[in-house]
Amino acid sequence: MNRKRRTTRGRRGFSLVETSAAVMIGGMCLAATTSTVYLVTTGGDRTIARSDANNHLALTLQRLHDEIGMATSITELTSRSVTLSCPDITGDAMADTIRYSWSGTAGYPLVRTLNGTSLNVLESCNNFALSALLENPVEEMTTPTTDVIVMAYHDGYPLAYTARSVNISTTTWYAQTFTPSYTDAVSYTVSSVFLYLRRSTGGTPSGEFKVSLQRVASGTVNPDGTVLREIVVRATDLPTAWGWVEFKFGNVTLNNNESAAVVCRGTAAYTGEVAYNDTLSVDWNDGQQRMRYTLNSGTNWYPTLFQQTKDLRFYAYGFFTLSGSTSTGKYESGTIGSVHVHLERPYNGETIMTDTAVNLLSRPLLSGMSVDDMPLR
């Protein structure tokens, strides 16, 4: 008996389990692919952002390096700020002044000020630190001085005297010499002189009334004719009544025991009148003080006898500089060879740091900075 051969056909579909497994595996692959793409994409963004932050910091540091490096002078240098002058960078053919400064508070900007105009060059700064290499520093020394005092004066004799006055003109000049002296002093400085005077009354006052400080010519008791400093007042600005008028000379310095002369002269026939005292007795309180006068614009001075019997009414104020010196705690001068710059900025929870050492081509001098305030390497 013949048996029929059974023919078995292959299965043409997937079971539910197989289909579910396939979907799951595909989803996992898609998720993995998506995650990878996301990580690659966002990681690239962060890398770019960090690179930008680094570049910004590097550019700021490069600008600092270039501008400090070509400084021709530095007037301020602390750990957080620097002020310098450099050759023209704005195109106006004039030197420019630049200042970099940071408040010292993390997160505050680093500010660049160019000729008075400020701009934040680093919006968020965590640290900005400067220090200098100072070559051949010279410490500043100071000499002690007295307070401003009356160095010489005349305002009345101890004996009987006669008060007189005289008109000052182009040819008639009056002067008062005096010789300040102080123990252990090396020099004296005249700051102001008071004269007892008024506007001329013998004629119409005009022109200028001039008061100068001069040295006394060597071997004489007369002004030497060289004006150290002169104050000029219009004749019509002098008081109409007698009174004390101050002439401020600023600072005129002579050697201790060196004679000086206050000289009054005019530019017209009638300018002002000065008062003086005259007596028959030598005024022993006056020491080396003498009144001098000329009738020919300084060619000849009088009197030749009894020279210490007359004096202008005057007060000379100033101070004496004493011998010896002490340190002020500052540098008088020093050549800045290089400046070290440290800069930090925050980024995404971390701090990016950079440093540079700047060699200064012009080797500018720095002066007047306190030793305690100056950041030195």
Instruction: Give the model confidence (pLDDT) of 343-374 as tens digits.
Output: 999 988 888 999 999 999 888 887 666 666 67
* Distance, first Cα to last Cα, the chain: 116
And the tokens for 302? 């009088």
Separation of alpha carbons 247 and 194, rounded Å: 6
H, E, C per residue of 29-43 = HHHHHHHHHHHHHHH
Separation of alpha carbons 279 and 328, rounded Å: 50
Separation of alpha carbons 3 and 1, rounded Å: 6
Q: What is the DSSP string of 221-249?
A: SSEEEEEEEEEEEEGGGS-SS-EEEEEEE
CATH number of 149-322: 2.60.120
**Whether 265 contacts 199, CB under 8 Å:** no
> Would you tell me how many other CB atoms lie within 10 Å of the CB of residue 2?
4
Return the H-helix or E-strand segment holding 64: helix 16-69
Beta bridge partners of residue 227, listed in sequence order: 214
Chain-centre distance of CA 207, in angstroms?
39
Task: Give phi and psi for 279, each to the nearest 5.
Answer: -145, 160
And the tokens for 252? 């005129």
Separation of alpha carbons 223 and 292, rounded Å: 9
Instruction: Give the model confidence (pLDDT) of 47-105 as tens digits.
Output: 666 677 788 888 999 999 999 999 998 888 899 999 999 999 999 999 999 999 999 99
Instruction: Give the model confidence (pLDDT) of 186-241 as tens digits.
Output: 999 999 999 999 999 999 999 999 999 999 999 999 999 999 999 999 999 999 99
The domain limits of the chain are 16-141+329-377, 149-322
pLDDT tops 50 at residue 1: no
